[in-house]
Structure 1
């Protein structure tokens, strides 16, 4: 079998390629479905709903013309005729508006019939009114009964016009539900295939990578014990070298993880934010629209018990899907704080050292002004460093080249916190408009083509979890300043 002839890299490449293709396919399918759904909803709102509303207005306006001739017969007041003329004109205007809609041939023919019947009805009604005016009440009353039959027929045709539009809307909704079911089935099938491929990938990794490594580790440990019994042997020397190498690697890895934890977290949050954005816009918004339509249908339609039960099943499944999406979004939340005594000046220095290459790449200089004897803070130095890195990276990207970042830290006495430390990051970049400042700290709001909109939102949350606050000040053409206020160790913000 050709699969057995492949090496480990080839097998991993094929499986990862298939998983990538499935993910890309799901993404393109979601975009296509969202586009089709948006087009369908635009047509539904701009054409079908508007036509239904207009048909209801036509029916209502026709009903409003009833009774005016009788009122005129009873008291002879011409104001009833004026009211009748107003409603006739309104009815004719509605018919003209209906002709501007993209109607089918059957609907156009029905509208022509309504127009002709209305004109015939108006002529008969005018004859009745003239007879009443001339005093021939008996002839007018006989003719009036015939006109009423025309009115009832006209009313039935208007009602049929409205019902046809209602039926068209129901057909559109059925089509939407059918496409949603098809899309759901495809996504479930692709997810099942992804699960199978993931299981195969895990099996290969365990059987051909992890288990052999574990055996090698046990063998190395066993050889280490033998070497200890025979001092001076080559095996003991090799074991000592391997052990020293492993210790050096562990120590280097620990230091690297500590110094680059922020970058790893930023990349992780970027991936999660990007995927969460796709999920929210491609799945949650259509789900919300479907829920609204289900609620509207359930409220407005006369349903049987079986139909009500079907509606409840659909609604429950939609709630379950919503919970799945919400649980996925919760995955991007950071871990709990690991508080300790923090020297904020040292955190600032570590941040500058960590970003030295990026600052040099963007030709950005840093001016630091840190007060002496700043009080220690109760906080997580890694998370605080994450906030500082985020603010400085944003400043570098905003300044582009040849700019300057000023960092200032000083002690202050804040009424709501007591002793506190204020840290400011200022740049001479282009600044932000008031509209952008109002939303820039909200999740998934970004001005970067490849951004996720999570950086500042997470920074605000981290500072608030430390009992502090993060404020933004910016003006177009005058740069941007972020001010962080954190309570000193032993102080509690109110």
Structure 2
């Protein structure tokens, strides 16, 4: 069974198709009529002129011949030659405008008979010139039948032309009648479909929505039919429902995301507790024994290198353990009034040697120190160090990091402090950029996937937000925003 939208679309398609078909047939019929009129007009005029020209030139030739035989004036012979050429010209035009095989046959017979008649007439004239009028007169009486036959053939050509016109008129009338019937049937069918569409829309869409409006009290029962605006009421109700559905969906999505994060947090908490009891104490013992061995043993170069690798890997495991524990526990802010610019400078001093070893150029753009606001300097420094180290790791062959500080007013939140960290690295792929803040997601082979998640949590605990923009091969930008004053709603009022 088709859906409601599909059925409506099919009905509309049928109406449009019928209208387009009717318009197409009408356009075709108009063009065809115009084309036939032009063709018939051109052929009809040429055929009509040729039929009259043939008859008239034959009569003129007969008169010129008779006048010469009576007067023996050679000027009539010149006139006769001119009329003969005129007849031949009309004969050529008649062939060009011929409209049927039968008309061509008549013209061919006319042409052949005229050649015999013209030859006999020349003999009559020659007999009169040589002084044999009796023989010429006798021959002249004999070719009168040929002349009459030529006239009859000319009239027959004209008759065929009239019959052809009548036949074309009948065919055109029949074709017009068929086209009119088709157009009329299309109009009737289109009207039926449109009426069915109106009833369908009213029963399947308008009635249910109006009943919904009545049921929710949007359309008062006391309102008179003349004062009710059903269209406006239905429109407002549908718009309200759409907004409500959108808001509900957003809340559901937010709650779903919160639930997922809570589940991850619970899982990480259990994991961190287990790891703390099962791994950290033995790991501490291993670190102490390694420290003691390093001081008591005499190691060659290869052994020292192996020993350093083992120490670094144990340190890496210890850092992962710390990240687990930090992520499992929500950070408790120890806020005091301090300028975030001081924290930025402290983080850069800590990473100075890292910048030099990796050939990273760092610049800070500020018009002055940022205003002092309530922040936890230690946690904010941890966040900045994490973001800057990620930028350094992304720029394997060196590059530049630009840190921009500014303040702005964002209504209704008030004054916001912004710290933008922009690098010239390879950027983050579009298909993973939405996942980088998720716990345990990492693009690094040895990463725990908790650094950015912890950084965002610290910023959100300050009532701000952490946003990222990136394009492949064009670098990455992290925007850290902190409120100058924390409202009563805390981070929820600023989360993005």
TM-score normalised by length of structure 2: 0.40
Q: Which has the larger radius of gyration?
A: 2
Q: Which has the higher contact order (CA 8 A, sep 6+)?
A: 1
